[in-house]
Chains A and B, each alone.
Chain A
Amino acid sequence: MTEIALGFATLMDPAVLGFLLIGIVAGLIVGSIPGLNDNIAFAIFIPLSFSLSPTYALALMVGLYCSCAVGGSIPAIMVKVPGTASSVLTAIDGHAMARSGKAGQALGIAITSSVFGGISSALILLLFAPPMAAFALRFGYVENFSLGILGMASVLGLLGGSLIKGLLSAVLGLLVATIGFSQQTGLPRFTLGLDSLYEGVPFVPLLVGLFGITAVLELAEELIRDRRKGETPREMPRITDSLYISWKLSKRLLPTWLQCSVIGNVIGIIPGAGMLMAIYMGYERISHRYKRLFAGKPGEPEWGEGAPEGIAAPESANNAVVASSMVPLLSLGIPGNSVSALFIGALMIQGMVPGPLLFIDHPDIAWMIIVAFLVANVLMWPISYAMVRSISGLVFHLPKYVLVPTISLLCLTGAYSDENSMFSIGIALISGVVGYITRRLGIPHAPLILALVLGRTIEDNLGNALAISGGDWSIFLEPTSHPISLALILGAVAFMLGPIISGSRKRYRARRQRAEMEVRG
C-alpha cells in the first residue's frame, strides 16, 4: 500500500501529471493519423527525452501508449482508414455504423470499450508486476537463460503467417545481438574495427531506424502510389448523433468487454504476442456470440455491417494489451511487445534497467509507471470525448507530403543526439532501409526486436550458468535444484510445438473435407 502511495505521490506532481495529459492528447492525435503510431512517436521522442526528468518522460510515454489505440479507431470509423494497425477490425463494423448515420454512437462505443479494456489491464499490471518482480530476484543465470528461450519460443509460436519468415527475423535479430564485446572473454567481435560497435549496435538509433525511418519510407511509397492513381478527395465525415451510449447498450456490451479484456490481458502478458493477435481473437470469439444472440433479430444489422459488438470487441481487446504488456517488462525485464521494448530505451537513457531491480533502486519510478497506467486510462475517457470531434477532421488536413520530411528530420535529430555522433545516424538509416526491405518481403519485425533484446540475455546467462555448473548442460533440466528452469523449457517446447500440431490438424481436416467432397461428388 505504501508503494502505491509512493507511485501516486510521484505522479501527482503537477508537472508529471501535465506530461501525462500531453501524452494522452498526443496519443489521440498520433493514433488518428494513418501512417503514424505509438512505435514511431516513441522512436522520435526517446532520444530527445534524456534532457527531461525521467518521471516526465515516462509519464508522457504512458499517456501516449494508452490513448494511441483509441486515436486509431477514429479514422477507422469515420473513413474506414485505420489510424493504427490495432484498429483494422474496428473499421469494418465501425464504418458501416457511421455510414448509417450513427457515427457518434460508433465513436462512443469505441471510446468506452477502450477505457474498459485499458482499466482492466492497468489493474492486472498493478496486481501482477510487483509480486512477479519480487519472485524474479530468485531467478539465477539458469532460470534467466530458460526464460529467454521461452520468450523467443513464444514469439515464434504465436506468430501468425509463415514460420520460416518468423525464424528468419529472429535469426537476424540474434546475429545483430552478437555484435560487440563478448561478455565471456571481454573482447570485441564483429565490430569491423569500429570503436562505436564495442558495446554492440547502439539500441536507440536502431529502434529509431527500424520504426521511424521504415515508416517514412513506407509513407513515401504510399505517396508515390497515390500520386500515380490520382487520389480522389473523400467526403468530409460528419458526426450528427450523440456520442454518449445508453445504459442499456452498456449493459448489453458488458459480456463482450469482459471476454475481450481477458483475452487482451493474457495476450499482453505473453512476450511477443501483440495487439493484432488480441483483436483477431476477440473479434472471432464475439462474432459467434453475436450471430447466436442478435443477428437476424429486427433492428440488428448482420455481423460486419454495423454491429456494436464488432467495435466493442477489438477496441476493448487492444487496450487490454497496453498495460499488461508492461507486466513482463517491469517484473522480468522482458518486453511484452515492441512498444514496451521501447520503454527499455527510455529507461536506459536515464541509466535505469527494467526488471526486478527497478523496484529496489527506483521504486518511485517503477510505481509511478504502474499508477500512471491506471490514471491515464481514467483520464482518457473525458479527454477522448472532448477531442473526438476535432480529431475526426484532422486526418483530412494533414497531407502525407508534410509528414514524410517532418518525421525524417525528427528521427535523424533523435538518432544523432543519442550519442552526439554521425555514426548513430548511419545506424538509423541502415536499420531503416533493412526494416523497409524486410517489411516488403513480409518478414515480421516482432521476433527481430525480441531477439535483439533477448540475444544478449540468452548468451550471457548461458555462459554464466555453465561457468557455475562447470560446463554441465543438464543443469537447465534439473528438476530438484532448478524446477523453474525445467518448467520454462517445457513451456518453450509447448509454444514451438503448438502451431505445428494445430497446423497439421488443419491440414488433416482440409484433406478429410476434400476427400468427403470427392466422395459426394
Chain B
Amino acid sequence: MRMIWLSKGLLVGLALAATSAFAADYPSKDVHIIVPFKPGGGVDTSSRILAEYGNKHMAKGKLEVENRAGGDGVVGQTFAAKAKADGYTVLAMTSSVVTNPILKQTGYKLEDFQPVALYNTDPEVIVVGAASPFKTIAELLAASKERPLTVTVAGIATSHHMAGLALEDSAGMKFTYVPTTGFGAQLQAVMGGHVELGLFPLGEIKKHADAGTVRILAAASDARLDILPNVPTWQEAGLNIKRWTTFRGWAVPKGTPEAAVKYLSDLLGKISTDPAYVKQMNDYGFPIAYKDAAGFTDEVNDYAEVTTRVIAKHGLKEKQ
C-alpha cells in the first residue's frame, strides 16, 4: 500500500514538475502550423500572415507554416490529430474539421482537437450576376418559391451546399444545385448567367461585388456588416437563419498542456490588436474576428450542431 501511495505521489510530483517546467519553457522551439491545403488558398494565405506577425511576439522559436495537402483537408487534419500533444503542432482549423468526420471515414474525430482561438469568420452570402433580373432578396425569395432556381455551390456536402439546404428547410426556397470544384468556376457561372444565383463565402466574392460584376443580395451574419451597410442579413430578409459562417482558427491535439493552449490563444489575441496585421488581413478579405479558446469552442459546437442536423436530414453521409 505504502509503495503504491509513494509511487502515485511521485508520479503526481513528476507531472507537476513537468507542467511547471513546461509552462516556463514553452515555446522552446519552432511551432508548426499545419495547413491541410496547398499553398495559395485562403487558409494558407491567412496562416502565413499570422506567422509573420506572430513571430514578432514569440519568446523563442518561430511559427512555421507547413502545407500537408490532400483529401480535401483530411490528410493534414489527420496528421495534426495524431501529432504529439506538446503544443508544437497546431492545425489551421476550418469548418471542414467539423464536417469531414461526419461525412467521410476519417481517421480522427472532432473531439480529438482542442480549439485554441478563432481569428476570422466568413459569412455566407447570396450572390447574383450583374445582369440578373433579381434586384432584391425579396424578388429572389418569391421566385424561388414558385420554381427551383439553379444555384452554384463550391461542391456537394460542403458548408456552402449545406447553407442552400438549410435555406430550403427554413425559408421554403427551392434549388437545383450546380456544384463546381472551386470558387473561380462558380464565379464564372454566376457572371456568365449560366446559373441564377450562387452561395459564396464573403471573402471569395467581395472584390468582384466591389467591381460591379456581381451583386450581393443578403449576408448570413448576426448583424449588418460594416463593409456591406446596404445588404440585409438573412434574418432581416426573412430567411429564418440567424448566422451561417465558415471559420478559420487554430486547434491543437487533445491533451496539449493548458499552458501551451493559453500561450497560443493569447498570442493570437495580441496579434489581433496590431493595426498593420488588421489592415493586411482586411486587404486580403479576411476580416478579424478574434475569440479565445472558450469562445472558439462555443462557435465550433454551434456549427457542429447545425451541420449535423442538415447532414442527417438530407442524407449527405457516405454509405458505410
Contacts and interface: CB of A to CB of B under 8 A. Distances in A.
A196 B75 contact: yes
Contact of A350 (B40, B176, B178): B40
A83 B103 CA distance: 52
Nearest to A186: B156
Contacts of B74: 195, 198
Contacts of B67: 419-420
Interface stretch (A22-30, A55-63, A88-96, A135-143): A135-143
Contacts of A419: 38, 67-70, 75
Interface residues of B, number: 45
A193 B106 CA distance: 10
A463 B181 CA distance: 13
A250 interface: no
Interface in A192-222: 193, 195-199, 202
A400 B181 CA distance: 43
A138 to B, nearest CB: 6
A464 B66 contact: no
A463 to B, nearest CB: 8
A141 to B, nearest CB: 6
B181 A195 contact: no
A185 interface: yes
A419 B37 CA distance: 9
Contacts of B150: 467-468
Interface stretch (B113-121, B182-190, B255-263, B269-277): B182-190
B72 A199 contact: yes
Interface stretch (A68-76, A336-344, A353-361): A353-361
Given A195-B78, A353-B184, A419-B67, A137 B191 contact: yes
A464 B68 contact: no
A345 to B, nearest CB: 11
A196 B181 contact: no
A186 B316 contact: yes
B299 to A, nearest CB: 24
A183 B179 contact: yes
Contacts of A421: 68, 70, 75
Contacts of B66: 420
Interface string B157-168: 110010000000
B279 interface: no
A137 B192 contact: yes
Contact of B176 (A357, A423, A467): A467
Interface in A115-172: 137-141
A140 B177 contact: no
B156 A351 contact: no
A460 B177 CA distance: 13
B203 interface: no
Contacts of A183: 155-156, 179-181
A117 to B, nearest CB: 33
A445 to B, nearest CB: 25
Contacts of B158: 186
Contacts of A294: none
Contacts of B316: 186
A353 B184 CA distance: 8
A232 interface: no
A186 B181 contact: no
A181 interface: yes
Contact of B41 (A193, A351, A467): A351
A314 to B, nearest CB: 39
B176 A199 contact: no
A188 B185 CA distance: 20
Interface in A434-468: 456, 460, 463-464, 467-468
B104 interface: yes
Contact of A349 (B38, B188, B195): B38
Contacts of A140: 189, 192, 194
A467 B184 CA distance: 20
A185 B103 CA distance: 12
Nearest to B40: A351
A35 B314 CA distance: 55
Contacts of A423: 70
Most-contacted residue by chain A among B103, B158, B194, B316 (CB, 10 A): B194
A390 interface: no
Most-contacted residue by chain B among A183, A199, A419 (CB, 10 A): A199
A187 interface: yes
A356 B188 contact: yes
A181 B107 CA distance: 18
Nearest to A193: B105
A137 B194 CA distance: 10
Contacts of B184: 353, 355, 357, 361
Contacts of A100: none
A138 B129 CA distance: 13
A414 B38 CA distance: 15
B123 interface: no
Interface in B261-320: 316, 318
A143 B284 CA distance: 33
A481 interface: no
Given A197-B71, A357-B187, A467 B40 contact: no
B38 A351 contact: yes
A360 B72 CA distance: 26
B68 A351 contact: no
Contact of A353 (B39, B157, B182): B182
A229 to B, nearest CB: 45
A138 B192 contact: yes
A45 interface: no
B106 to A, nearest CB: 7
Contact of A188 (B39, B44, B179, B318): B318
Nearest to A195: B71
B70 A195 contact: yes
Contact of A139 (B38, B106, B192): B192
A303 B67 CA distance: 57
A502 interface: no
A184 interface: yes
Most-contacted residue by chain B among A184, A187, A195, A460 (CB, 10 A): A195
Nearest to B177: A467
Contacts of A202: 70
26 contacts: A50-B39, A50-B40, A137-B192, A139-B192, A184-B156, A186-B155, A186-B157, A188-B318, A193-B105, A195-B107, A196-B71, A197-B71, A198-B71, A198-B104, A199-B70, A349-B40, A350-B40, A351-B39, A352-B40, A419-B38, A419-B69, A421-B70, A423-B70, A467-B176, A468-B150, A468-B178
Given A419-B75, A421-B70, A467-B150, 7 more contacts: A50-B40, A186-B161, A186-B179, A195-B74, A196-B70, A198-B74, A468-B194
Closest 4 CB pairs of A and B: A351-B40, A186-B156, A195-B71, A140-B194
